Structure 1
């Protein structure tokens, strides 16, 4: 848990986030984000689509406390929805309420979300509400419910480490759900703390939604979980059209392609933009084993950085100090 806590702390470090925006591409961040522009990202999506892989697209952004920043994020997301439609790629949108103003004003955030949902509905595109830390959880669910009452193109995320996750998956079983383990530091009063318990609850939630719910997105890089789901689906005669596996862009690409070739629906979580650092550190917090999967790609020969991820975070901090 110490390693997980370290990555969470790094994800919340504003100095490192700002340094990563400036130096990310020099450090090989292109291996964990699909592009810094919409055009670059659409090209990456097309390449994945050719492999039989669909995508969910996330406009990266941290620490949004100004309305101008939230409005800019809304415009970027709407532009991406239009680009998805115009290019004909197989992709949908994932978004975070905090990026669209939740921490500024809830009503303002709802207006922004409604604008996005309307555009997405007009283009028959799906929107997934990403869930963040517990402080934002219930407000995010409430916003999602309000929008879902008007549009039918909405889904959300259930985080397995929360004690209340079974209640939430039962409540939202009729929605398309992405099931994840969870990637924020939360107290024991609201979240499971040990890996074994979280892993067991994760499996239980997946099984519940496969048997009782709508479409299930199983977000994991763990081949043990994937093999368990494959056997469970076969045993219970669950059609492959009822679920998909999801992985992050740049992670375990061989397994992504293999699962798609086996006839399973597969979706890659595609982040884009320069604000990649907090996102990446939370993915490592979620499953520290991811570090071994991506370190060699991020710290390439071209950058001549033969160091581990933690040392990379330290380097970003040093680079930031030099610019002041």
Structure 2
């Protein structure tokens, strides 16, 4: 039943008609509970509030699968402006981005030039940029770009998904780059020849790569709402004398709020992933696919006055 529910929401995430309707009626369907605002300026007061609670942030201008060079350049300039705002307002925040929003599916030199422009501004403003991982057809290109950028910039990270078979080898290949990695389970619909289909296998592989990256001595972000995964990380770090400044927990804005604050009180670093923009539909559907219990959360947003 859970697998059917996941496939259903992943199918909906690619529905262009519903995407157009969502942009029009977004606030009615719970978007305001998981998105910081339609513009970054709207999100600034919320970021400051979360910072005051001891939470770190990473912000993401929603949008992906851009097939227009003009739009890709617009998204890149939007990211640069966001970095400037973070610096100007002294916000405790990183920036996350998707390469498909910057032209990955159009031309290599386009996405590369956009990333260099973004990274130069991020370096000047001392802001960390994390490259989100997308579906498996784009994994190799994403990691190739990350490795090239890592040779030029220290303030860049990327994401590794535990449901892919290739993940263990990717961790090994990245080891020499002193990577900053966000480790996640994965949220795209993938064929069984490239990804684990059973949840226990995905969970076990996530634990495996958490251990591997931490023991390699690299800074690690554990992006999970799963109490078992959080407890596993705490225990493993304690048993292996891994200091809390080598890792952090990451969670989505609007989900597990109390858990986030409890971890901060325990002395752990917690980063909240805060998206903004009106292109929220695909993101929201993938969150429902990851955790079908979030359906109740979404319905609450529909009828909330």
TM-score, normalised by the number of residues in structure 1: 0.90
Verify: 1:234 aligned to 2:238, yes or no: yes
Give 1:91's aligned residue: 93
Q: Residue 104 of structure 2 is aligned with which of 94, 102, 105?
A: 102
Aligned to 2:130, what secondary structure does the other structure show? strand
Match of 2:167 in 1: 165
| SS of the residue 2:197 aligns to | coil
The answer to whether the 8 Å contact 2:10/2:289 transfers is yes
- 1:261 corresponds to which residue? 265
| 8 Å contact from structure 1 (residues 54, 266) kept in 2 | yes
Within the candidate set 200, 206, 216, 2:204 is matched to 200
- Partner of 2:242, secondary structure, is coil
- Residue 18 of structure 2 is matched in structure 1 by 16
How far apart, CA to CA, are the structure 1 residues paired with 2:162 and 2:38? 31
Please report how far the alpha carbon of residue 300 of structure 1 lies from its aligned counterpart in structure 2 after TM superposition: 3.5
Contact 2:29 2:298 in 1 (8 A): no
Alignment match, 1:251: 255
SS of 1:35's equivalent in the other structure is coil
**Other structure's SS at 2:238 match:** helix
Q: Mark the runs of 5 or more structure 2 residues left unpaired by the alignment.
A: none
1:75 to 74, 77, 85: 77
User: How many angstroms apart in 2 are the aligned matches of 1:68 and 1:179?
Assistant: 32
Gaps of 5+ in 1: 303-324
**1:62 aligned to which of 61, 64, 76:** 64
* CA-to-aligned-CA distance 1:139-175 (integer Å, 9 cap, x gap): 1111112222211111111100010101111222321
Q: Does the 8 Å contact 2:30/2:299 carry over to 1? A: no
Deviation at 1:297? 4.6
Q: Distance in 2 between matches of 1:291 and 1:261?
A: 29
Tell me the C-alpha RMSD between the 2 structures: 1.3
CA distance in 1, matches of 2:282, 2:33: 15
Pair 1:295-2:298 in alignment: yes
* Partners of 2:268 and 2:69 in 1: CA distance: 41
In 1, the alpha carbon distance for the partners of 2:30 and 2:98 equals 25
- Asked whether the equivalents of residues 94 and 128 of structure 2 are also in contact (C-alpha less than 8 Å), the reply is yes
State the shift of 1:287 in Å. Answer: 2.9
Q: Secondary structure at the match of 2:236?
A: helix
- The structural deviation recorded for 1:296 is 5.4
Contact 1:35 1:44 in 2 (8 A): no
Distance 2:302 2:18 in 1: 17
How far did 1:27 drift? 2.8
Q: Is the 8 A contact 1:31 1:297 kept in 2?
A: no
Could you tell me how far apart the structure 1 residues matched to 2:293 and 2:159 are? 22
